Amino acid sequence: MYQFNREEYEKRMKWFVDARFGMFIHWGLYAIPARGEWVRSTEEIPKEDYMKYFEEFDPQECDPAVWARAAREAGMKYVVMTAKHHDGFCLFDSQYTDFKSTNTKCGRDFVAEYVEAVRNEGLKVGLYFSVIDWYHEDFPHYGDRNHPMRNHPECSNENRNFDRYLTYMHNQIREICTNYGKLDLLWFDFSYDNLRGEAWKATELIDMVRTLQPGVIIDNRLEVSGEGYGSLAAGNPTPYHGDFVTPEQMIPPEGIKDVNGNDLYWESCVTMNGSWGYHATDRFFKPSSMLIKKLVECVSKGGNMILNIGPDAHGRIPEQSARILKEIGQWMSKNSRSIYGCTKTGLAKPEMGRITGNGKSLFFHLYENAIGPVPLLGVKKSDVKGMRYLATGAEVPVSKSWVHSDYPDILFADLGPDPVLPDPVDTVLEVILK
């Protein structure tokens, strides 16, 4: 039976901490109605009406190698794809259901294709699996908070057998842990109301998962949802504790600690627009400049960021998402050393940006310039070996200007006479300590 071991835990988390930046992929039948991945629930669509999307599903242009390459070129180090979302449709060839991609017109096992593509790009492989299922007859319908038939008393739960559903769910998780080689990350979603922890037979489930995939990292949503930290944070880890905390659509104001004040591993999951699954009319995309700064913010607080794409009904990355990924990748190609393996520094957040650090290197992320030389608060002049622009390696001298002579104890960087920073989004200054 699995028991928490701090040494083993830290060992399996190392790649995740070093990676800092990942890609989420939400894709399935819901890309056809194109109103988000919760469309069947929000619009209370009956199963028979939703099945038309199953009959239509035939994404001939889908190429997971394109997704994986886009992730690598954006500077991401791992990818997590929805093997099954809440609607119950499986993107893998499960022997326990007919509601799967291999039974559609295209006849493809997209999980198999995705896993191969991600590995070929040298990235870590993650799979998302919903522990709720609106398709399965034994999952609660009437009265459930989220089920599409929650308001239909004719869909009574009287003859439904939840244990039978749990057997089905466990069997499918065994399939994805057995049939697709080594998995680096499993992202379960999600717990709510009375459906949490042992309601999922979570101890038994995790014992199976860690037997089949001993090095896999698992999120905390067998216990909680986007809110709540879980038992590891409470200082009393259950066998099904989450390896990391999963704040959704926000960044924790000060990072996340456990009850004893120790830093926890966490990953902020973020959409490019307001939707996880493809949404044809959701055009409220965050600009790449904002997402770069939010990635830096996560790292400066000791966390990761996983950024979502929602491929369209053909399996293509939406044009605006592809453009944002490319722009992030251009910045990462020059500045990724300020992200990978970096974390919080203990220094106060500067007015002009943020700070990340790794060993003897402090990375000052400058979002705006100063009037005159730039003050680097919290760093002693005597501790500095040198300063460089991270993007070019060009030396940045310590300022000796008379203008800051009233502040002899503060280190100032001389960026030269140009008031405009070299990178208008985030100019990274590496301060190398002795």
The structural domains of the chain, ordered by start, are: 6-338 (3.20.20.80), 353-433 (2.60.40)
Average confidence (pLDDT) over 73-90: 98
Q: Which two tokens stand for residue 257?
A: 């600690």
State pLDDT tens for residues 278-330. Answer: 999 999 999 999 999 999 999 999 999 999 999 999 999 999 999 999 999 99
The closest alpha carbon to 307, from 14, 34, 26, 16, belongs to 26
What is the reported pTM? 0.98
Entry field: residues in the chain? 434
Q: Taking the chain, what is the end-to-end CA distance rounded to the nearest angstrom?
A: 47
If you average pLDDT over every residue of the chain, what do you get? Answer: 98
The closest alpha carbon to 112, from 62, 169, 170, belongs to 62
Packing angle, helices 319-335 and 288-300, rounded to 10: 50
Residue 425 has pLDDT above 90, yes or no: yes
SS3 state at 261: coil
- Per-residue pLDDT band at 411 (split at 50, 70, 90): very high
Q: Which two tokens stand for residue 420?
A: 């405009």
